A = this chain, B = another copy of it.
């Protein structure tokens, strides 16, 4: 593509040769001659100068660069658009493989792809254009929207509702039983988990992530939420719209995560926690109770800035303890009478 075509595609303006031929799209550190890359912030400017990229998406013209520039409002977004343009998804399979198992009671809309060794249970409905990879299981009565992609060995148990444009990465498990028992007669008795899971449109769920079904009612993942790998979402949780959950985070049962909340990696959210819209949670935080709008870190979580300051003191605690001991000693020398009185 010519640079002028690229500029038109991403709604940008060119600084440099409009006829320059762009043959690929790549991050700064991977870019080769002919590639276009992008500059987010100024931190990567030095790296960009050493980069072999022929052109760069920028938010404003930068004199110090040799590369041709395309000025756009959001360079990273333009970068994503170009990646999609240069790397159209190739579908190597079409239609339903004879080596898949599709119940005769399942209803598949047009252009559904089912690879070998996928299992589609009784009464399942699948919308147009959805792709089901090998080893995927879809249990009886589940309803899947259109244009979904379910990668290999992902599992959707019975009675689950999934919207449109949903991506399940490999090994994801939707609708396993919630973890609920009642102790009686000397053992943990299983509380049957008879509820479901509702996954709204445009959700992406990471590899080997697990979303449990509700005890009764539904576990809900809101529209546009993006969930990374190896995340655990417990029964009856409500994840709001456009929430981000980074890898290895766990959300305990019946918790609510407000719209647009960002939660870092390895965060632990206790049962029955309410994280309000506008909250941003640092990696490894531990949450319980109600978490308001704001930035929080630590376990138990406190405001992020306070946490940073407390961590700094934590690192010098032995010194602080020593100082306190010295102060005690000095005071004793200063006021021997007082010490006597205390005895």
- Residue numbers of A with Cβ under 8 A of B are 25-27, 29-31, 74, 76-77, 79-80, 83-84, 86-87, 90, 92, 97, 99, 101, 115-117, 119, 121-122, 133-135, 137, 140, 151-153, 155, 157, 167, 169-171, 173, 176-177, 179, 181-182, 184, 186-192, 194-195, 202, 204, 206-208, 210, 212, 214-217, 224, 226, 228-230, 232, 234, 236, 242, 244, 246-248, 250, 252, 265-266, 268, 270, 283-284, 286, 298-300, 302, 306, 309-318, 320-321, 323-324, 327-328, 330-331, 333-335, 338
Of chain B, the residue at the smallest CB distance from A228 is: B179
* Shortest 6 CB-CB contacts between residues of A and residues of B: A30-B217, A137-B152, A313-B317, A176-B207, A155-B170, A83-B192
Report the separation of the CA atoms of residues A250 and B184 in the bound assembly, to the nearest whole angstrom: 27
Report the separation of the CA atoms of residues A134 and B139 in the bound assembly, to the nearest whole angstrom: 10
Measured between C-beta atoms, what is the minimum distance from A228 to chain B in Å? 5
Give the interface SS of chain A, mostly helix, strand, loop or mixed.
Answer: loop
Given contacts A155-B152, A182-B74, contact A234 B247 (CB under 8 A): yes
Given contacts A119-B116, A155-B151, A265-B252, contact A217 B74 (CB under 8 A): no
- Copies of this polypeptide in the complex: 3
24 contacts between A and B (CB under 8 A): A27-B217, A30-B195, A30-B217, A80-B182, A80-B190, A83-B192, A101-B134, A119-B134, A134-B137, A152-B155, A155-B170, A170-B173, A181-B244, A188-B244, A212-B229, A248-B268, A250-B265, A250-B266, A266-B268, A313-B317, A317-B317, A320-B321, A331-B334, A333-B338
Q: Which B residues are CB-close (under 8 A) to A169?
A: 173, 176-177
Of chain B, the residue at the smallest CB distance from A212 is: B229
Contact indicator B321/A194 (Cβ below 8 Å): no
Measured between C-beta atoms, what is the minimum distance from A22 to chain B in Å? 14
